[in-house]
Amino acid sequence: MSRALLDRRALFSSAAAAALLAATGVSAAPPARGGRLRMALSGAARDDTWLRGNGLFMQVARQGVVFDTLTEVAADGTLRGELATGWTSSSDARVWLFDLRQDVKFHDGQAFTAKDVVASAAGFADGVVRAVGDFQVSFTLDQADPRLPMRLAQPEYYIRSAHAPESGVGTGLYQIAHFTPGQRLLATRVADHFKGDSAGWFDEVELTSIPSEPVRGQALGEYLVDAVDLTVAGSVGDLPDITLQPDHRHPTQAVSSDVMQPANISHLRPLDNLRAAERWWFA
């Protein structure tokens, strides 16, 4: 188990803890830093790259671990900025301006700027995206889209670096230590991430590809991993230290009781809307 890796002294400052608890609704003690979150996931392929491959494994690796998006849907369903700090639109919802964070660095030390958004948006924008200075971008859409900020929170709209788009260099809470396509990702916590102590409490995150759902369940039941995706309760359904979410009848994931979660869990996608690595912690 990863519990042995925990350092319970590494708690939030009282101010950061209060902000977190207010946002998540958690009434217990604030999260402790430490440990390795181990997830066994489906959907990996040997030809996965940081630009290709849309199975669950790579979706979690991108949005939940290595990269950020412009906006984020919080566990309680609230839309908030991630790499963006704010946005405005024209009256017809065709022209949008997004203000960007100015305190963000990629894992290789390069500063994040508007040019990275422009380069990334070339693969997903329905219109023209251009930089307006170093920390503002404009989206001029082919058709009106009042939901653009919500859409940009989706996993396919992750922001990669313009200088190394295929490298897996992102701005996320965890940086790559080892990656074998279709098999395994090991990532370590970024020490000076812009989210500070408001998210990302694991020291390491490990994703392992296990295509067979019964085998994923067996790995969880034998304490080899801490969380898995599944659709049938199977052999883990009656285990007292395993929680099926959202419920036993229609599960999308099973999680060890060693893992703590915010009071409000987003079920838009498995694993807390793919963001388990940044929102969960060990008891």
Q: Which CATH number belongs to the domain containing residue 177 in this structure?
A: 3.40.190.10
How does pLDDT run across 59-87, given as a tens digit for each residue?
Answer: 999 998 999 999 999 888 899 999 999 99
pLDDT digits (tens, 9 = 90+) for 128-138: 999 999 999 99
Could you list the residue range(s) of the whole structural domain that residue 131 is in? 79-153
Identify whether the C-beta of residue 220 lies closer than 8 Å to the C-beta of residue 227. Answer: yes
* Amino acid, res. 198: S
pLDDT (mean) for 272-279: 96
Has residue 27 got a pLDDT over 90? no
The answer as to whether 166 is a domain residue is no
Tokens for 282, please give them.
């060990």
> pLDDT of 94-139, one tens digit each?
999 999 999 999 999 999 999 999 999 987 878 999 999 999 999 9
User: Closest Cα partner for 137 from 89, 165, 100?
Assistant: 100
Confidence of residue 6 (pLDDT cuts 50, 70, 90): very low
Q: Are residues 186 and 275 in the same domain?
A: yes
- 58 and 178, same domain (yes or no): yes
pLDDT for residue 13 is more than 70: no
Q: Do residues 181 and 56 share a domain?
A: yes
Q: Which residue has the tokens 């290595």?
A: 66
On whether both 16 and 97 belong to a single domain, the answer is no
Predicted pLDDT of residue 29: 62
Residue 57 has pLDDT above 60, yes or no: yes
* pLDDT in the model for residue 18: 39
- Residues 194-210, mean pLDDT to the nearest whole number: 96
Print the SS3 string covering the chain.
Answer: CHHHHEEEEEECCHHHHHHHHHHHCCCCCCCEEECEEEEEECCCCCCCCCCCCCCHHHHHHHHHHHCEECEEECCCCCEEECCEEEEEECCCCCEEEEEECCCCECCCCCECCHHHHHHHHCCCCCEEEEECCCCEEEEEECCCCCCHHHHCCCHHHEECCCCCCCCCCCCCCEEEEEEECCCEEEEEECCCCCCCCCCCCCCEEEEEECCCHHHHHHHHHCCCCCEEECCCCHHHCCCCCEEEECCCCCCCEEEECCEECCCCCCCCCHHHHCCHHHHCEEC
Residue 163 maps to a domain: no
Question: Same domain for 143 and 187?
Answer: no
Say whether both 61 and 84 belong to one domain.
no
Percentage of the chain beyond pLDDT 90 is 80
Is residue 15 scored above 90 in pLDDT?
no
Does any domain span residue 160?
Answer: no
pLDDT score, position 75: 84
> In this structure, are residues 78 and 156 in contact, taking their beta carbons and an 8 Å threshold?
no
Same domain, 197 and 271: yes
pLDDT of residue 72: 96
Q: What predicted TM-score, i.e. pTM, was given to this entire model?
A: 0.87
The pLDDT of 153-162, averaged and rounded, is: 95
Which residues lie across from 255 on neighbouring strands? 227, 243
Contacts of 279 (CB under 8 A, 6+ apart): 24, 75, 199, 261, 262, 272
Q: What is the pLDDT at residue 265?
A: 87
- pLDDT, tens only, 220-275: 999 999 999 999 998 899 999 999 999 999 999 999 999 999 988 888 899 999 99
Query: Tokens standing for 64?
Result: 């939940």
pLDDT at 2 over 50: no
Q: Which of 20-29, 152-161, 250-259 is the least confident region?
A: 20-29
pLDDT of the residue at 77: 86
Which residues make Cβ contacts (< 8 Å) with residue 7, sequence separation at least 6?
32, 33, 34
Q: Are residue 94 and residue 178 in the same domain, yes or no?
A: no
pLDDT > 70 fraction of the chain, expressed in percent and rounded: 90
| 256 and 235, same domain (yes or no) | yes
Distance CA 39, CA 70 (A): 25
Residue 118: CB atoms within 10 Å: 17
User: Which pLDDT band, with edges at 50, 70 and 90, does 191 fall under?
Assistant: very high
186 vs 18: which has the higher pLDDT: 186
User: Residue 6: how many CA atoms within 13 Å on its side-chain side?
Assistant: 16
pLDDT at 28: 52
21 and 116 belong to one structural domain: no
Distance CA 208, CA 69 (A): 23
φ and ψ at residue 92, rounded to 5 degrees: -95, 5
**CATH number of the domain residue 92 falls in:** 3.90.76.10
Number of domains in the chain: 2
